[in-house]
Amino acid sequence: MMDQSPLVQFHHLKQLSYKDVWDYQHSLQQKLIHHKREIKLSEGKMPVLVPTGHLIFCEHKPVYTLGKSGSLDHLLLNETQLAEKQIEYFKINRGGDITYHGPGQITGYLILDLDQYYHDVHRFVREIEESIIRFLAMFGIEGNRLEGYTGVWVQNEKQWHKICAIGIHMSRWVSLHGFALNVCTDLQYFQNIIPCGIEEENLKVGSVSSLLSKKVEPDEVIEKLQSSFKEIFGFEIIKPK
């Protein structure tokens, strides 16, 4: 860990295609990796004022993404049906199975150089979960980890509702991808897939709005969500001017 807090650039993106954001976060990751190589070759240290990571909050156009360990059988629509419903589909390099991204959901991408934090992928995932759990507590929602499942869950009426999915990829200890937090997401989109490959009847998908029984917009929670990640990861956020 650095003596001083790492600097993380914040990006807020809306209504973009998944491919555009995927290319964007990948370019940011590659720049960080390239910068690390330059620092190593010069035997110098990362300048304090240079951002050592990026935090992207994004609302995508409707899209299903399948992780590298997922099964295409968990997508219940064919190409024609996807086109009719105007939903994109991508198989990508994060961990996990299939999930949905779309309006009303904050998809968070953490592009962090873990050389500045720790070399522990398991801890990285747990700290993303903890950031979401502390965020939910600000709304009086008790977030939980469910044994055997990644992500954040909330128990409601004898059922567990997955409110946040997590999937990451790592290259030279620079992270890619992150989390998908349902704020006021249209949960009907999840009926076209087997979310995260989970078929148990008592394990459902939920959102902040569905659990509070009132609509909460993504723009209303940006500051609180930033604050939670800043607290857990210990970085300083550089906001757009």
Give the β-pairing of 53-60 and 7-16.
parallel
216 inside domain: yes
| Domain span including residue 20 | 7-238
The verdict on whether 196 is a catalytic residue reads: yes
pLDDT in tens, 139-181: 999 999 999 999 999 998 789 999 999 999 999 999 999 999 9
- Active-site entry in 58, 164, 184, 196: 196
2 inside domain: no
Q: What gap in Å lies between CA 40 and CA 46, rounded to an integer?
A: 9
Q: Give the count of domains, the chain.
A: 1
Helix H or strand E segment including 48: none
184 inside domain: yes
pLDDT in tens, 74-102: 999 999 999 999 999 999 989 889 999 99
Q: Please tell me whether residue 84 adopts helix, strand or coil conformation.
A: helix
CATH (domain of 142)? 3.30.930.10
Predicted local confidence at residue 39, as pLDDT: 72
Predicted local confidence at residue 46, as pLDDT: 53
60 inside domain: yes
1 inside domain: no
